Amino acid sequence: MEDLIPAMADALRELSAGAVLQPLRTVLPVSEHGGFLGVMPACGRALGAKLVTFYPQNKDIHTHHAMILLFRPETGEPLAVMDGRLITEMRTAAVSAVATRLLARADPKVLTILGSGVQARSHLEALRLVREFTEVRVWSPRNAESFAREFRVLAATSPEEAARGADVIVVATAATTPVLRGEWLAPGAHINAVGATRPNWRELDDEVLRRATIYVESREAALKESGDVIAAGKEPIEIGEVIAGKQRGRTSVDQITLFKSVGVAAEDVAAADLVYQKKSRS
């Protein structure tokens, strides 16, 4: 994760600068089984594509599975095929860590995580690398208590109890209707929202969107794929532009900032290339 966070910052800066060619994700509904297949190519420093499945109703196996293919940009030769599930899990949290480092207040005390799955675990690891927290709370409809015991954090009985007074909030659930409400937000809160990546799904209510300055990985992708960004009705700011110094991040201690992530191919290909380069040198 220590290597991945700066690699994701580079990838997002290059994406916003136009140095990465990345079409919108193609999503094929697998309606019979309630799943989706996504195709995500990108070409920047590295050339590749991720094939990812999302089956939100899976219970005893992961909801996301993926394969990433890398090719030599100069010749098109295949270089590697690798499992993409762990890369997806880690790069999502690493990107949230990039946003948190840029947008969260410098002195947060309370981290709240809504959700208790792989993204909750990954975000707990990543965000602790960019900010120090004195209290961590978790809420989940099913597994908050076991998550809290495993990671020695506090289990909340409701999303409201978890969110009130929090400085940084991660929304990492499978919700398709709002689970975080703006009336619960403390002044100066920063939110990383990584779910609800379909245009008709929401995880944030209208008040969150009204109060927050919204940042995204790709303006084009977010306005096409994120029900929350579409509902907000205002132009989001690309986080890569903030990294490059072309847009401002936090401007006051009371400002509420929201990083809404849909996950983009530039992140996956850059993360896979990081793995490939390290493996090649070993």
Q: Is 276 exposed, middle or buried (0-12, 13-18, 19+ CB in 10 A)?
A: middle
CA dihedral 265, 266, 267, 271 (to 10 degrees): 100
Sheet holding 154-155, edge to edge: 154-155, 135-139, 110-114, 168-171, 190-193, 256-260, 212-216, 237-238
The pLDDT value given to residue 85: 93
CATH 3.40.50.720 residue ranges in the chain?
Answer: 106-263
pLDDT of residue 237: 98
Q: The domain at 106-263 falls in which architecture? A: 3-Layer(aba) Sandwich (3.40)
What is the predicted pLDDT for the residue at 168? 98
Q: Is 144 exposed, middle or buried (0-12, 13-18, 19+ CB in 10 A)?
A: buried
Residue type at 33 in one-letter notation: H
Q: Residue 194: what pLDDT?
A: 96
pLDDT of residue 142: 87
Mean pLDDT by 10 residues, the chain (282 residues): 98 98 96 95 97 91 94 97 95 98 97 96 98 98 94 97 98 94 98 93 97 98 96 97 96 97 97 95 80
Q: Which of 26, 43, 39 is nearest to 266 (CA)?
A: 43
Rg of the chain's alpha carbons, rounded to an integer? 18
Residues 6+ apart with CB under 8 A from 215: 99, 103, 236, 237, 238, 239, 242, 257, 258, 259, 260
Question: What is the separation of C-alpha 37 from the centre of its chain, rounded to a whole number of angstroms?
Answer: 19
Give the DSSP H/E element, type plus range, for residue 85: helix 85-103
The fold of 4-87+266-281 is ornithine cyclodeaminase, domain 1 (3.30.1780)
Angle between helices 4-16 and 85-103 (to 10 degrees): 80
**CB-CB contact of 239 with 15 (8 Å):** no
pLDDT at site 250: 94
Is the CB of residue 193 less than 8 Å from the CB of residue 214?
no
